[in-house]
A and B are shown apart, each in its own frame.
Chain A
Amino acid sequence: MDAIISLALTLLQQVLPTLTTANASLITKIVEGLIALIPILVNEYKALLPMIQNVITALKSNGNITADQLTALDAMEAQIDAAFEQAATNAQTEDASDATKI
């Protein structure tokens, strides 16, 4: 994700000099692009937080992984796997339906 942010900022930097003519339409498009980026960043941040916390806890534990930690991981992974399977099914359905139209 940092690569995308970096790319977006680089592009923005390149476009900025042309904005001296106050191109309202272009500014609107840039703002729309940035707004579209925000939910993706927030979702990614929130979604990955539990894994980060798990790793921090594990690193603090000097190698001892408790049964409770494994149970909690199981529960988290059940949700992650279910979410992935749902997204995969939806994506495959969308792709298959478009392929039929062609």
Chain B
Amino acid sequence: MKKIIGILILTLALGGCQGTKFGTFIATIESAATGTVSPEAIYVAANTFDAVEVTATNYLTLKKCPINAPFCRDPVATKALIPAIRSGRVARNNALQFLKDHPSQLGTQGLYDALTSATDTIKSIMSQYKVAGVN
């Protein structure tokens, strides 16, 4: 079980954007037929964003570079990450609000796209600045 969880952790958040890809996969199949996404896809996308936010939080708690340690926090990356997370949080909340307002109904593709796009933007920043936790 630990191995399975470990693999999932790596694929969902630490190993890149597999979690988002999976969510995208679910959404793509459904949107091809309906132009909408399932509550499940939105829920997975929200959790994927949350995982990225946690990784960003862990990064922000590192000591500021340059220091004599294996890991440190780049102030430039910090400046880029903070607004990106806050912006993504709005997209996440909007998507989840739809789920609450319309239980068990399909969500709009736009809400889902905004959320996954925000997550991808953050991952791109993390990749650019080699933030721990992202390839």
Contact = CB atoms under 8 A, between A and B. Distances in A.
Chains A and B bind each other: yes
A2 B6 CA distance: 11
A40 B58 contact: yes
Contacts, number: 140
Given A44-B133, A45-B9, A55-B19, A80 B44 contact: no
Interface string A40-68: 10011101110110111011011111010
- A-side binding surface: helix, strand, loop or mixed? helix
- B-side binding surface: helix, strand, loop or mixed? helix
Contacts of B46: 73, 77
Interface residues of A, number: 46
A29 B91 CA distance: 44
B12 A52 contact: yes
Interface of A: 1-4, 8, 33, 36-37, 40, 43-45, 47-49, 51-52, 54-56, 58-59, 61-65, 67, 69-70, 73-74, 76-77, 80-81, 83-84, 87-88, 90-92, 94-95, 98
